Amino acid sequence: MAAHPREMSLPSIGQDRRQGKRMPLHCAVQFFRQNRMLLSTTTDNVSKRGFYCRVSEHLTPGEEFECFLRLPAAFASSSSATALVLACRCRLARVEALSADCYGLGCQIEDYLIIPE
């Protein structure tokens, strides 16, 4: 039986509220922003709902964008595929200033299409 809402504890400030197990997977990712500017980077980790990466440009939480996320061949169902590409529609869930010119992005995948390569 599920706990009554008043009995459930809410995450405190600083507590990890992300859902889903994250895998430390380094995948190439390319962002396409609404102004068509392209950002390229590599993921730090990936989960079933999103991914985390670092970029040198400050972005705005809530911003929506499209991206291509290239997963290693081990994730492809066909033995002839060299890689698997997810064409994703994402929303920027959070931005962390890591240094003066480095920002960590928590990206939530809203929808995706699998493109075998």
- Residue written as token pair 């990712």: 29
Give per-residue pLDDT as tens, 77-115. Answer: 655 557 789 999 999 999 999 999 999 999 999 999 998
Model confidence pLDDT, tens digit, residues 12-66: 444 455 556 889 999 999 999 877 878 999 999 999 899 999 999 999 999 999 9
Q: Do residues 74 and 83 make contact, with C-beta atoms less than 8 angstroms apart?
A: no
Please check whether the domain covering 23-116 is classified as CATH 2.40.10.220: yes
Burial 30-51 (b: 16+ CB within 10 A, else e): ebeeeeeeebebebbebbeebb
Q: Which pTM was predicted?
A: 0.77
